[in-house]
Structure 1
């Protein structure tokens, strides 16, 4: 399951800045940051409800917004990027 997570967290208070850090940490556990508040994630279907629940627990629903876009299996064919390449191929090899 490929998803795109986009978030806007109100950072006008210290609590908001903490929520922002926690949302980013949560998203980093599931995917890759492609812009400041945007993550591309490739998940197993059973992981999605846990991710969503964790994000719902972190944010202040009256002040913050998270949008999750479910992408099709062939989303790379409909995605264009201009400028610096910031993502990696989820299906490719990773050398550690």
Structure 2
């Protein structure tokens, strides 16, 4: 499954800044950052549930918000990239 994850973390306090770093770190473990608070993740259902659980524990759900968009298996027809920066292809070659 292909999932788009977005978040908005309140950063007016030092605790908020720490939460923001934790949320971003979790997202980096599961996907590719495509914008500041937007990640594209290619996951199986178990990985998705694990990531979602970790994010919900890291965020303060009274101050922060998380959004998960499940684009499914045929996600390529649903995503159109226009503008600067080359689009990320999770099924393409990976150079390390």
Question: Same fold, TM exceeding 0.5?
Answer: yes
* Mean Cα deviation higher: 44-53 or 83-92: 83-92
Where do 1:53-72 residues align within 5 Å? Answer: 53-72=53-72
Q: Which runs of 4+ in 1 moved over 4 A?
A: none
**Is this contact kept in 2: 1:34–1:86, CA < 8 A?**
no
Question: Cα deviations across residues 25-59 of structure 1 (Å, max 9, x unaligned)?
Answer: 00000000001100000012211111111001101
Q: What is the rounded CA distance, in whole Å, between the counterparts of 1:29 and 1:17 in structure 2?
A: 19
Unaligned runs of 5+ in 1: none
Tell me the TM-score normalized by structure 2: 0.93
Tell me the TM-score normalized by structure 1: 0.93
Q: What is the rounded CA distance, in whole Å, between the counterparts of 1:95 and 1:71 in structure 2?
A: 25
Unaligned runs of 5+ in 2: none
Q: What is the rounded CA distance, in whole Å, between the counterparts of 2:48 and 2:10 in structure 1?
A: 24
**Counterpart of 2:49 in 1: which secondary structure?**
helix
* Mean Cα deviation higher: 82-91 or 63-72: 82-91
Q: What is the rounded CA distance, in whole Å, between the counterparts of 1:23 and 1:94 in structure 2?
A: 24
Q: Which residue in 2 is equivalent to 1:83?
A: 83
What value does the CA root-mean-square deviation take over the aligned residues?
Answer: 1.2
**Residues matched between the structures, number:** 96
Q: Which residue in 2 is equivalent to 1:20?
A: 20
Q: Which residue in 2 is equivalent to 1:7?
A: 7
**Counterpart of 2:34 in 1: which secondary structure?**
strand
